[in-house]
Amino acid sequence: MIILLNGSFGVGKTTVARILRTHLRGSAIYNPEWVGSVLMRAPKWIKLKRTGANDFQHIELWRKSTITGIRLYHWFTPGTVIVPMTFSHHDYFNEIVTGIKSFEPILRIFCLTASLDTIKTRLIQRGTKIEGKGSEWIARRIVECSNAYLDNSFGELIDTEYRSAKDVADHIATLLTPKR
């Protein structure tokens, strides 16, 4: 099984993934953001096919490497692979989901949500600048994500507003437990 934890920056995806991993024996976390960070820092002479700027999700190679990375983790992990990632572009999200389903039919997608004010507070608490020069990208992206997650097209909505990461992870673990 593969679990995709979608949600805005600052909603708690990585923290929830770490706690959820303790519930799922033999599971592993694959975070494709590190590949994106490397690609964003690639020299300009390396021509990467992009459909936009300032977000590695616009890089075709990142999307393909995300699917490949999840597949590799899936091969070498005895249990579930948990993937925390922020998707707000339907086309990119669908590309990744289709790619995953090509090798693993059991894919659960949860979209962690919270109000924009809560997201901002959580980002500030972790030391992320959300206002002023240099913070335009994150400020724009958290608004985009908040708007995108008003419906469930990015996964089963899980409200994190007044809940601890442990409570959210415990809730997701319960949703994964087969009903008898």
The CATH number covering residue 90 comes to: 3.40.50.300
More confident residue, 117 or 58: 117
Domain count, the chain: 1
Q: Is pLDDT above 60 for 51?
A: no
- Tell me the average pLDDT across 33-38: 74
Res 169: pLDDT: 98
Res 126: pLDDT: 87
CA distance 89 to 168: 24
Res 151: pLDDT: 82
CA 127 to chain centre: 20
- Tell me the average pLDDT across 131-154: 88
Residue showing tokens 């335009």:
136
Retrieve residue 146's tokens. Answer: 């908040």
Identify the band that residue 58 occupies on the pLDDT scale cut at 50, 70 and 90: confident
User: Whole-prediction pTM value?
Assistant: 0.90
Question: Quick one: which of 78, 33, 74, 76 has its CA closest to 56?
Answer: 33
Res 42: pLDDT: 66
Q: What is the mean pLDDT of the chain?
A: 89
Res 94: pLDDT: 96
The answer to whether 155 and 6 have CB atoms below 8 angstroms apart is yes
175 by Cβ neighbours in 10 Å (0-12 / 13-18 / 19+) ranks as exposed
Q: Which domain holds residue 77?
A: 2-176
Question: CA of 122: how far to CAs of 44, 51, 112, 158, 165, in Å?
Answer: 34, 30, 13, 17, 12
